[in-house]
Amino acid sequence: MKTKYKGIIVMNYKKRLLCTVIPFLTASFLVGCNKNKQPESSEQKPLEIGDTVKEWKSSKDYEEAPLGTANENSRGEIVKDLGHEDKSSIKYEVIYKAKETYLGSDLLETPYFTEDDAKNGDIISLYAYVPSDSNIASLQLEVLPISMDKGMKSDLLTIDENTVNTWIRLVVSFDTLETLGAIRLNYTLADTSYSASFYVDDINITLGAETVKTDYEYKDESLYQTYEEFFKVGCCMSSQMLQNTELRKIARNDFNSVTAENEGKPERILDQKTCQQLAKSDESAVAITSAPFEKIYDFCEANHIKVRHHTFVWYSQVPEWFFKKGYNNSSSNVSKDVMLKRMENFIKITLETINNRWPGLVYAIDVANEAVENHTIRNNNNMWYTVIGKDFVYYAFKYARQYAAEGQKLYYNDWSYDNDAQNLTYALNTLLTPIINEGLIDGVGIQGHKGINENMEIILNDAKQIFKKGLECQITEFDLTISGTSEYTKQKTAIKNLITKILKGNIEGTMNVDAFVMWGIDDAHSWRRNQHALLFTDKFGKKPAYYGFLEAIQSVRPVEEVTE
C-alpha cells in the first residue's frame, strides 16, 4: 500500500514524560512526525479513503523510537527474529504487575492528527502476538480524544488457544471530531505473580478504510436535479457527517439544500464568555461564534448547495444564562426590554455574520421553532415566553425581517402539527396573524417526523392550510421510521405517494412546497438510528425509499424521460 503523508505541523517538541508505562507509541508518533518535516505542499494530492496515513512496521521504523529505555513498568525491545510480515517487531516485557494496565500514552504531546485532519472512520490498528508462555489474558486497543474522555476501543482480544502464538490485528475507528489525544494498548494479566511478554508490529493509521465498505452506487441519477423545477431537495448535515467522504459525495449529488443539524442552534453559537465581558458595559450586547457551523457552510458554498439556517428562537437548546443578568447562570432574569434587545442583537449579529461571510448562501431561516404546544403557545419550560411573554415570536420575526438580506425567506418551523392539525390552526390563525399581516413571514415549515403507521395525509392538509394563508411551505425535517428491512417496500410506497401528491398540489395550485428536506442522509447518522428512517442504508446504499422519492416524478413526466 502506498504511503502518503498528510502535512503535519512540527512544533518544537520538548520531551515530557507523561507516560505511566513505556511511551513507545508516543515516541513512534513523534519520530514519525519529525521524519516528515515538510508541511503539506499545495500541489500534494489530498489523501484518499484507504490511503495509509502513517505506519510503523520494520525494525528501521522502530529503531528511531527510543524503545530501549526501560522504566519500572515495562521494557520494550526491537527484535529481528519475529514479526508480522517481516522478521521485526517490538517485544514488551511487563514488569509492573498490575492486573489491568496499559501500554502507550497518556497524552500525545504532538497529536498525530488534529481536528482538521480527522476524517470520520480513520482506522488505527496494530498487530499483537502473545506467546504461549505469556500470562496475558486479554488485549484491547484504545484511542482517546484530547479530552481523554470516552475512548474508542477495539474488540477485546481474549488470549486463548485460538489466539495464542498468532498475529492478531486490533482495529479501532477514530471518528471523533476532536483532536487525537492518546493511543493505548490495554492488557490484563491472568496472574500477577509473574511477568508477561507480548509483541507488537505494524502500527498503522489508515484513512477511513474500514468504513468504506459501502453500498453506495452512483447511477447517473440525482434527487435534486430531478425536482429542480418543482422544489429543493434537502438534508440535514452534522459536523460528523461532513467528515465522511461518502456522505459528502451523496450530499453533492442528491441535495441542493442543507440544514446544520445542531451546529446553528443558540446553545452552540452563543459565546458566554464574550457576552459576559460585553455585559459589563452593555447588558444587551451579544456575542456569537460561527465556528460550529463554519465547515458545513463552507462545504455548501463550495458545492453550490443552499443553506436553511436553523434556528433563532426556540425553547430548547438555548442556554438559560442567555436570559440572566450579566449572562451569569445563577443570576435573576433580565427584564423584558433587555431581553428584546438581546434577541434583536442575537438575530442581527447572526445574520450579519452569515451574510458577510457567505453572501447569498442562506436562502431560508427558521426564525422561530416549536413555539406551539397543545393548541396554544408553548408557555411551559420556555425562557423566551417567561421573560418576554406571548409576543416573543412576533418580535423574532420583526428583527429577522429587519436584518435579513433581500430574498432570504423567513420561516416558522414546528412538528406540533405533524400529527395534530389543530396546532397548525392555532399557529396560522392566532400566533402568526400579526406576523402574516405585517409581511414579516414567508413560509411555514412542517417538520414531518413520521412513523410508517401514522397518517401521512395530514402533511398534505397542513401544506394546503398554509397555502390558503398566502404562505409557502417547506417540509423541513422529514424522516419515516419503519420496524426493519421487511418494511422497505411500505416505506418506499409511502414516500412515493407523498412526493407525488406534493408535486400535484404544487402544479394544481393547492399548495406551494418550496423544499422537501430529509433529516439526514443515511440511517446510521440519523437521530432515529435503528429505525431505518432515511433514504440511504447504514452503508450508504440507496434504499427502495430513495427510488420511491425519485420515481414520484413519473406522475408529472413520461417514464422514459426518467430513464434517459
Q: Is 86 in the site for Ca ion (CB under 5 A)?
A: yes
- Binding span for Ca ion by CB under 5 A among 159-167, 194-202, 428-436, 464-472: 194-202
Supply 13's cell numbers.
517538541
- Binding span for Ca ion by CB under 5 A among 48-56, 57-65, 297-305, 341-349: 57-65
- Binding span for Ca ion by CB under 5 A among 9-17, 86-94, 126-134, 309-317: 86-94
- Binding span for Ca ion by CB under 5 A among 75-83, 235-243, 268-276, 556-564: 75-83
Centre a 10 Å sphere on the Cβ of residue 479 and count the other Cβ atoms it contains.
22
Concatenate the DSSP letters of all residues of 65-121 into one string: S-TT---SSEEEEEESS--SSSS-EEEEEE-S--SEEEEE-SS-SS-SS-TTT--TT
Please say which residue, 203 or 498, places its beta carbon nearer to Ca ion: 203
User: Any bridge partners for residue 518, and if so which?
Assistant: 235, 478
**Phi-psi region at 540: left, alpha or beta (left = phi > 0; alpha = psi -120 to 50):** left
Please say which residue, 86 or 155, places its beta carbon nearer to Ca ion: 86
Exactly one of 6, 57, 309, 450 binds Ca ion (CB under 5 A); that residue is 57
Exactly one of 175, 201, 477, 523 binds Ca ion (CB under 5 A); that residue is 201
| Dihedral angle over CA of 107, 108, 114, 117, nearest 10 | -130
Size of residue set near Ca ion by CB under 5 A: 6
Please say which residue, 83 or 121, places its beta carbon nearer to Ca ion: 83
Q: Is 145 in the site for Ca ion (CB under 5 A)?
A: no
Please say which residue, 83 or 445, places its beta carbon nearer to Ca ion: 83
Q: Which residue has the cell 519529525?
A: 34
Phi, psi of 403 (to 5 degrees): -110, -10
Q: Is 266 in the site for Ca ion (CB under 5 A)?
A: no
Please say which residue, 170 or 410, places its beta carbon nearer to Ca ion: 170
Q: How far is the CB of 58 from Ca ion (least distance, A)?
A: 5
Residues 6+ apart with CB under 8 A from 536: 216, 250, 521, 522, 523, 542, 543, 546
Q: Is 83 in the site for Ca ion (CB under 5 A)?
A: yes
CA 130 to chain centre: 38
- Terminal CA-CA length for the chain: 39
Q: How far is the CB of 90 from Ca ion (least distance, A)?
A: 9
Residue nearest to Ca ion (CB): 83
Please say which residue, 48 or 85, places its beta carbon nearer to Ca ion: 85
Please say which residue, 89 or 423, places its beta carbon nearer to Ca ion: 89
Nearest to 242 by CA among 291, 298, 192, 196: 298
Q: How far is the CB of 80 from Ca ion (least distance, A)?
A: 9
The whole-angstrom separation of Cα 201 and Cα 114 is 24
Residue type, 443: G
| 505-536 core/surface letters (b: 16 or more CB in 10 A; e: else) | bbeeeebbbbbbbbbbbbbbbbebeebbbbbb
Please say which residue, 58 or 413, places its beta carbon nearer to Ca ion: 58
For β-strands 52-56 and 472-481, DSSP reports them as unpaired
Q: How far is the CB of 127 from Ca ion (least distance, A)?
A: 8
Q: Is 525 in the site for Ca ion (CB under 5 A)?
A: no
Q: Is 104 in the site for Ca ion (CB under 5 A)?
A: no
Q: Is 61 in the site for Ca ion (CB under 5 A)?
A: no
Q: Is 28 in the site for Ca ion (CB under 5 A)?
A: no
Q: How far is the CB of 87 from Ca ion (least distance, A)?
A: 7
Compose the 421-460 pattern: x for residues touching Ca ion by CB under 5 A, - for all others. ----------------------------------------
- Binding span for Ca ion by CB under 5 A among 21-29, 88-96, 157-165, 547-555: 88-96
Residues 6+ apart with CB under 8 A from 214: 246, 539, 540, 541
Please say which residue, 201 or 551, places its beta carbon nearer to Ca ion: 201
Nearest to 468 by CA among 408, 514, 423, 509: 509
Which residues here bind Ca ion, judged by CB under 5 A?
A: 57, 83, 86, 88-89, 201
